[in-house]
Amino acid sequence: MNRLLNAGFKRLIKNKLFWTCLITLVVISIAGCISQYMNMLKYKIEIKTDTFLFSSASMIGITLSILIPLFVGTDFSDGTIRNKIIVGNPRKSIYFSNLIITVISGLVITAVHMIFMATITVTVFGPFKLPAYAIIWHIIATIFLIVSYSSIFNMVTLLSSNKTISVVISLLLVFGLMMISASVLDKLSHGEFMNTMSVVDGKNIFETIRNPSYLEGNARKIHQFIVDFIPAGQGFQITGNIAPNIKILAVYSLIITLISNCIGYFMFNRKDLK
């Protein structure tokens, strides 16, 4: 596996798409900082530095859904994967060496992004609001999130054999999960009470009533579980610092990682590589 890893990392360093993804993510976030800075000056509002620090968590899924299929899928399009097997590399080594390389690529992109964001936002918006232990747990959750995303897209790519199809499937999957997560988070965001105004005898009457859209009991627990378990939901919560239990996100990511790799390796090991 060491030879596969060495060759893979050398190819990754020379890969233009990898550098494009890294630079694009940083540029988008810098543009977001500029926009928020202008809003801060215009509307005199407070901007949370922490949100920018973890903004990559909500975008890394899209980044990896493009990078991994095109990077790993090249082995199929160039016929490299057959050559690896012919020279004696076991399928297990091929599968998991690709996983390790893609995980590292995601971690590097995220680390560079966080360093840039920390440097810029602390200078412009001030120190972090989150306590140190919370920042550490957000970083841990982000790491596990990257591993789970990499496991999913690595599985899709190595089972598809066609990098174009792999990209399409991966993008549809990540955008689908983002839409589901956004919808669930919207329902969870409804407060328990809401303010209303009515006019009685020409007078404005303000009162606080129970919000009929507020989720409670088992319904709320189910919705929270869905958004905690789905990688895109984790990303949104990490970015917004709104996870009720940040520690559980890493556990769910680990479960997704194990399931994806077990299914992926089992099927890849039996795949007919023509």
Check whether 202 has a pLDDT greater than 70.
no
Using DSSP bridges, classify how beta strands 203-210 and 193-200 pair: parallel, antiparallel or unpaired: antiparallel
Closest among 12, 265, 64, 87 to 159, alpha carbons compared: 265
Residue 53, Cα to own-chain centre: how many angstroms? Answer: 14
How many other C-beta atoms lie within 10 A of the C-beta of residue 34?
12
pTM: 0.91
When pLDDT is cut at 50, 70 and 90, the band that residue 256 belongs to is very high
Please give the Cα distance from 172 to 178 (Å, whole number).
10
d(CA 153, CA 159): 10
How confident is the model over 155-177, as a mean pLDDT? Answer: 92
pLDDT digits (tens, 9 = 90+) for 143-154: 999 999 999 999
Q: How many CB atoms lie within 10 A of CB 11?
A: 15
C-alpha angle 158/161/166, rounded to 5°?
A: 75
43-60 pLDDT per residue, tens: 877 777 777 888 889 999
pLDDT higher than threshold 80 for residue 77: no
